[in-house]
Amino acid sequence: MTWTKIATADQVGEDEAIAVVLGDLKLALFNSAGGFHVTDNVCTHQYALLSEGYVEDGCVECPLHQGRFDLSTGAAMCAPATQPIRVYPVKVEGSDILVDA
């Protein structure tokens, strides 16, 4: 595994998200349901950034058509989203948030 620091914990509040660019990857970092989650930032339905979506109870609602994704598994929870988003391993060391992407 290759862990890369992408943020510090104080950068993303409860039920909030930020966009993170890591090399060629567009990622979204979420803080919800008691933990941090990293996913691809671009919705699998059409082009929208999930870091701009509504975050609640470990899920994100896409800002464009309100498809919902589980932030732990990436599973699409409701139409029009049908394809999962990719999720990445995350760990916290002190105040640093690291991802294996």
Footprint on this chain of ligand FES (rule: CB under 6 A): 43, 45-46, 48, 62, 64-65, 67, 80-81
Beta carbon of residue 52, minimum distance to ligand FES (angstroms, whole number):
10
Measured distance CA(84)–CA(6) in Å, rounded: 23
Both tokens of 7, joined, read: 């943020």
24 CB-side CA count, 13 A: 0
Beta carbon of residue 84, minimum distance to ligand FES (angstroms, whole number):
13
Q: Which is nearer to ligand FES, 71 or 97 (CB)?
A: 71
Beta carbon of residue 27, minimum distance to ligand FES (angstroms, whole number):
16
Q: Which is nearer to ligand FES, 59 or 67 (CB)?
A: 67
3-class SS shares of the chain: helix, strand, coil, % to 5: 5, 50, 45
Q: Which is nearer to ligand FES, 25 or 77 (CB)?
A: 77
Q: Which is nearer to ligand FES, 65 or 91 (CB)?
A: 65
Measured distance CA(94)–CA(48) in Å, rounded: 32
Query: Are 19 and 5 a contacting pair, CB within 8 Å?
Result: no
